Amino acid sequence: MTELEAVNIALQTIGEMTLTTATTIPDVYEASTALEILTETKRAVLSQGLNCNTDTNWDFTADTTGYVALASTVLRIEASDATNNYIAKDNKVYNKDKNTFLFDPNSKVTLDVVWDLDFDNLPPAIAYYVAIKAARLTYQRLIGSTDVIQVLLRDEEDAKQKMIEHDTDTRNYNIFDTNSTRRVITRTRNPRGLFG
């Protein structure tokens, strides 16, 4: 799904004519509003950290002055090593434990990163969910009829379930990865009374 197709879903939802090219979006108030809401919705959904936009153990390098700058495409960071407490602040990495932006110059800081992606690069299930949610928000903000919003919310919930299924499928979860399962498998004896 392209960004233009997502904007057209929102336009159809509010009863407006669809567009044939993305270059005409800025010329149409409803279309430009739909695009703004689509962008806002995409960032909100991706901020959750899905499999398609999350990298673990990503190395960032401090510059010669000791600052670790973050690109505008970084939505969220977390220290890969749980003993460190890093956050994004003023588009830089901030060490909360030491209350400083400064790291050793040219040193590596390893982070788990949630990235913003272009809409056109989203997996289809996620793009569809973002488009349906943005269409509902566009309708809600521009029209506001309660009955239709309820129908749109049901469509949005269906799309969300498909997105969650897609994300779960691509993460390769394994029942044997959890500590509680590992304890059951590796125990040397069966507790009395478990089987009667």
pLDDT interval class at 172 (50, 70, 90): low
Q: Domain check: are 134 and 161 in the same one? A: yes
Q: Domain check: are 19 and 63 in the same one? A: no
Model pLDDT for residues 73-122, shown as the tens digit of each residue: 999 999 999 899 999 999 999 999 999 999 999 999 999 999 999 999 99
Q: Is residue 188 part of a domain?
A: no
Angle at 80 between CA 75 and CA 84, to 5 degrees: 100
The domain tally of the chain equals 2
Q: Cβ distance 11 to 31 under 8 Å? A: yes
Boundaries of domain holding 139: 3-48+122-171
Q: Domain check: are 155 and 126 in the same one? A: yes
The torsion angles phi and psi of 19, rounded to 5 degrees, stand at -105, 150
pLDDT value at residue 64: 96
Model pLDDT for residues 5-59, shown as the tens digit of each residue: 999 999 999 999 999 999 999 999 999 999 999 999 999 999 999 999 999 999 9
